[in-house]
């Protein structure tokens, strides 16, 4: 063994045989760099959980790709560990794990395959980046013989070829951020009721932005650039929800079709920012670049929420490649089926992480805490969250509200304080759990999406369901102390039509995906306004813009947390593609020239105005469900519903087909108090929604509701002035297919 002095004299990240492996420590997991000083020797501690392994080799790579294998001989509580003096930040590394090859019992160890550290904080050399001409996953990356003649048995035949030249490597990262870097008083900490979420793709948001320097487009630095941040702040959103930024891989089938995974729901590294979105480098620079982006957004008062994919990995089914967990301990990381050669697949992606296993639960929670405490993020949206809360007791694989995953999150002192959003379903019928998650969680509310879409296309049999959706979905979330902000309301998301396409197409047009237009949902609940696709017909285009305004107004005037999708506020189109997961091109990228179009520019102005109204009026962002009664002497009911005749809706009215109705929100009957216990008072508003194709009259409710109203927003008018006043009890002409917001003035 060489001395400390010898180690310090070695060239940077030298991997010659002189380098030694000291026992090191089993905690923390991953590669943790230790700087010299106070008598400490510079180097890196490596620790890997591999419960079923027989031996583990640490593999270090020099600049030319040369590899040195160092056995990790220390084993503590199923964690293999060692400290290597002289290893500095920037060193690339991986593991080779030895053990049984017996797919029939779930064992898939193969030391010929270089494996990515699950705790790697940066990844270098991932194939499928923006410039490397990815054309498919090499056969060497598979632990089995991918091209075995008998495909039924292919996954049982071990492939002995070395995968190291073809797979990404972990990178040692130094300079951990101190706890004071992300102190609460430096975060926006926007309360849930005040939040407006904006779902965006790091790459797609800036790829065509004229104000972002070309070298920064499509990167974390681009999203943190002043031009990008100014649009978000000007629009008024309070949080960005980023499509997956964990390191992900591209599917072989896409590469063979000349495509790549654009959305990123194919994770291989839960601690590493995706290297393909870095402008500054992939030897750890991506970590600092991501942190700088978060700082820029925080400085503008914008929170950062990550869309995270802990339900499955990019390794897919037993016929998929081996990047990491499959080769480290297949049985320990994944949920296997009754036949352990195959996987339990609740995700539709070939595998499901075994969250009931302590080491997997630790992997997930360690990752979440890392992104909060060291990367500065403010919350998470969990993809297919129901798959994370599947029980596995007595053959029952149902959803369990007391699942260890949900329990650990609820008591964790870091995670219980951030925003938690569930996509409350998975790929199986039993996974649909809208309204089923416990307190602390908010949920994507697809019942809101469906009801609003159906109303504006004239397909609702009655308005009972819509009434619940507009008022916070108390039927779903009014239990266990949950609040209206448990409902994340949305009309569109990354998955499906854009808002413009929702009013331009009735059928999906996914031919560019190369799957014969079979992919993507057929249940679009859309209306093309009389013509399929783009048209030069001025009347149809005017109607489409008005329908987009109607959908935006409905969303932003509803109780709950609204979520917009990047570009919907300016008419972004995907040309009818409702599953653009593999379209890393202008189909998916935001087209900023739309802001210069007079028609779509008016949509953007309306979105800004509605968000500002929501920000300034607490009656539009309630913290408690409506009670349907006054909250003080002489008050009005906090919520009332009206027919076009100006009469309150009866039980029979809710059960009848209806394309016009009004929602009255009383600003003097808000069930909340200010920070010093004072009553919260606001203006009262009447929202009139008219989905019919002909002009109609709406009789405005008179006393005691109001003696006079002023029109604040009218989606049928380009601009609306406050000078238009209408007495209560009078008829208000309502244009076909429009929303009118009126403020009580007397």
Q: Helix (H, G, I), strand (E, B), or coil: what is residue 416?
A: helix
Number of CB atoms found within 10 A of residue 35's CB = 12
CA angle 467, 428, 465 (to 5 degrees): 5
Q: Is 632 in a helix, a strand, or coil?
A: coil
Active-site entry in 57, 74, 159, 383: 383
Rounded to an integer, what distance in angstroms lies between the CA atom of residue 142 and that of residue 104? 17
Alpha-carbon gap, residue 67 to 48, rounded angstroms: 19
Annotated active-site residue in 423, 426, 506, 710: 423
What is the SS3 assignment for 115?
strand
By the 10 Å C-beta count (0-12 exposed, 13-18 middle, 19+ buried), 657 is classed as exposed
Nearest-angstrom CA–CA distance, 567 and 258: 26
Strand partners, 171: 92
Determine how many CB atoms are found less than 10 A away from the CB of residue 539.
10
The answer for residues whose C-beta is within 8 angstroms of residue 415's C-beta and 6 or more apart is 365, 368, 369, 372, 409
Spell out the residues 6+ positions from residue 79 whose beta carbon is closer than 8 angstroms to its own: 26, 27, 29, 47, 48, 49, 50
| CA nearest to 503, candidates 536, 532, 526, 537 | 526
- Would residue 501 show up in a list of annotated catalytic residues for this protein? no
118 vs 112: CA distance, rounded Å? 18
As given in the structure block, the two tokens for residue 91 are: 């060193």
Angle at 412 between CA 406 and CA 413, to 5 degrees: 150
The 3-state secondary structure of 537-595, one letter per residue: CHHHHHHHHHHHHHHHHHHHCCCCEEEEECCHHHCCCCCCCCCCCCCCCCCCCCCHHHH
Q: How many CB atoms lie within 10 A of CB 696?
A: 18
Catalytic site includes residue 568: no
Residues designated catalytic: 383, 423
């Amino acid at each position: 063994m060489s001395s400390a002095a010898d180690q310090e004299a070695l060239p940077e990240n030298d991997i010659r045989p002189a380098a030694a492996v000291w026992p090191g420590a089993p905690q923390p997991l991953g590669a943790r760099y230790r700087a010299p000083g106070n008598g400490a020797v510079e180097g890196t501690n490596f620790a890997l959980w591999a419960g079923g392994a027989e031996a583990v080799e640490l593999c270090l790579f020099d600049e030319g790709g040369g590899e040195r294998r160092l056995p990790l001989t220390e084993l503590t509580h199923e964690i293999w560990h060692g400290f290597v003096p002289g290893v500095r930040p920037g060193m690339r590394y991986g593991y080779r794990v030895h053990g049984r090859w017996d797919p029939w019992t779930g064992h898939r160890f193969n030391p010929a395959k270089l494996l990515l550290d699950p705790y790697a904080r940066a990844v270098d050399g991932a194939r499928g980046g923006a410039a490397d001409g990815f054309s498919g996953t090499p056969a060497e990356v598979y632990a089995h013989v991918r091209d075995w003649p008998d495909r039924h048995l292919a996954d049982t035949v071990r492939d002995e070829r070395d995968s190291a030249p073809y797979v990404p490597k972990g990178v040692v990262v130094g300079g951990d951020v101190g706890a004071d870097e992300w102190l609460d008083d430096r975060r926006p900490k926007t309360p849930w009721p005040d939040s407006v979420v904006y779902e965006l793709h790091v790459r797609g948001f800036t790829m065509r932005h004229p104000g972002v320097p070309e070298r920064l487009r499509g990167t974390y630095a681009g999203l943190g650039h002043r031009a990008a941040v100014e649009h978000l702040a000007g629009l008024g959103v309070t949080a960005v929800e980023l499509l997956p930024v964990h390191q992900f891989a591209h599917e072989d089938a896409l590469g063979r079709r000349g495509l790549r995974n654009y959305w990123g729901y194919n994770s291989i590294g839960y601690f590493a920012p995706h290297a393909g979105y870095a402008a500054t480098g992939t030897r750890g620079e991506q970590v600092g670049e991501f942190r700088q982006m978060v700082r820029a957004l925080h400085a503008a008062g914008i929170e950062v929420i990550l869309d995270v994919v802990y339900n499955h990995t990019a390794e897919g089914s037993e016929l998929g490649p081996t990047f990491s967990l499959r080769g480290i301990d297949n049985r320990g990381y994944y949920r296997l089926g009754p036949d352990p050669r195959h996987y339990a697949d609740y995700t539709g992606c070939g595998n499901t992480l075994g969250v009931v296993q302590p080491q997997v639960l630790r992997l997930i929670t360690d990752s979440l805490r890392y992104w909060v405490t060291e990367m500065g993020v403010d919350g998470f949206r969990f993809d297919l969250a129901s798959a994370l809360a599947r029980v596995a007791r007595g053959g029952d694989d149902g959803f369990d509200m007391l699942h260890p995953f949900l329990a650990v999150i609820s008591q964790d002192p870091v995670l219980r304080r951030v925003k938690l959003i569930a996509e409350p379903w998975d790929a199986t019928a039993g996974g649909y759990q809208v309204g089923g998650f416990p307190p602390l969680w908010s949920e994507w509310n697809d019942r809101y999406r469906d009801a609003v879409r159906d109303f504006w296309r004239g397909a609702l049999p009655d308005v009972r369901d819509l009434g619940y959706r507009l008022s916070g979905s108390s039927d779903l979330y009014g239990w266990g102390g949950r609040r209206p902000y448990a409902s994340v309301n949305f009309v569109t998301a990354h998955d499906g039509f854009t808002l413009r396409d929702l009013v331009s197409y009735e059928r999906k047009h996914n031919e560019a995906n190369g799957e014969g237009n079979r992919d993507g949902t057929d249940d679009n609940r859309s209306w093309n306004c009389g013509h399929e696709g783009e048209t030069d017909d001025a009347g149809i285009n005017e109607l489409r813009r008005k329908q987009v305004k109607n959908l935006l107004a409905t969303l932003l005037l509803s109780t709950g947390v609204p979520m917009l999708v990047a570009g919907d506020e300016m008419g972004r189109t995907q040309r009818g593609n409702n599953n653009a997961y593999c379209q890393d091109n202008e189909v998916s990228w935001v087209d900023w020239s739309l802001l210069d179009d007079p028609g779509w520019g008016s949509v953007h102005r309306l979105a800004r105005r509605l968000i500002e109204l929501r920000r300034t009026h607490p009656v539009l962002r309630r913290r408690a469900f409506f009670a349907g009664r006054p909250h003080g002497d002489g008050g009005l009911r906090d919520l009332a519903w009206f027919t076009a005749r100006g009469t309150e809706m009866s039980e029979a009215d809710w059960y009848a087909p209806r394309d016009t109705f009004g929602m009255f929100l009383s600003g003097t009957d808000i069930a909340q108090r200010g920070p010093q216990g004072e009553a919260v008072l606001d203006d009262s508003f009447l929202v009139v929604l008219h989905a019919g194709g002909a002009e109609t009259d709406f009789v405005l409710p008179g006393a005691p509701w109001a003696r006079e109203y002023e029109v604040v927003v009218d989606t049928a008018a380009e601009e609306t002035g406050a000078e238009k006043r209408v007495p209560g009890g009078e008829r208000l002409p309502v244009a076909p297919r429009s929303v009118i917001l009126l403020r009580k003035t007397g």
